[in-house]
Amino acid sequence: MMKKIIVATKNQGKIKEMINAFKNLPVELHSLSEFGPLPDAVEDGTTFEENAIKKAKFYAQKTGYACLADDSGLTIDILDGAPGIYSARFAGYHADDLANNKKMIEELQKKNVEQSTAQYVCSLVFVDTDGKTLTCTQKCEGIIRIFAQGNNGFGYDPYFFVPDLQKTMAELTIEEKNNISHRGKALREMEIQLGEYLK
């Protein structure tokens, strides 16, 4: 019996990534876009995990199906964890990658530094229709720098340097990135948790 799970995103890239990560589980993943216009979940939590839980619960309720949601972003140590949960809108509500990266560089320059230790964080949450909740949070440690390198990836990837690989996230192949990234680790952990839960 396949379990139908809604992924709380309209981003096809994220859905493909999850379909691939959970291909050995008895699940059938669907996008929010299959449900027509739905209101946005209110993400007013103070952590990635709180926001992912709010999103998963909200859409499980709206669709009547189990739901998977994630919240992820960048925390920069010298900026006291900023941009954190505001990573996608660091430069304002409708900011794009370019504007967010510009703001990040400006904030580092205000501190008179060209780099800082930083973490990419991903919280992944599964909520079933009966309220059963599975959560996991994973990190990828690195160094955020004020100059870009590489053309792959998105968001802050060209500025996020991974010392172990001596490359930025934007210089990695998809395979390399999935091995070490916060999202890759969270997906692998959730695969184990979901596998146990669906037994």
- pLDDT tens string 49-80: 999 999 999 999 999 999 999 999 999 999 99
- 188 labeled part of a ligand binding site: no
Residue pLDDT, tens place only, 109-165: 999 999 999 999 999 999 999 999 999 999 999 999 999 999 988 899 999 999 999
- 155 labeled part of a ligand binding site: yes
Q: Catalytic residue positions?
A: 71
Q: Which domains, from first to last, does the chain contain? A: 3-197 (3.90.950.10)
3-state SS string over 29-95? Answer: EEEHHHHCCCCCCCCCCCCHHHHHHHHHHHHHHHHCCEEEEEEEEEEEHHHCCCEHHHHHHCCCCCC
Res. 13 pLDDT band, cuts 50 70 90: confident
- 183 labeled part of a ligand binding site: yes
- As a whole number, the mean pLDDT across the chain is 95
- 23 labeled part of a ligand binding site: no
- 126 labeled part of a ligand binding site: no
pTM listed for this prediction: 0.93
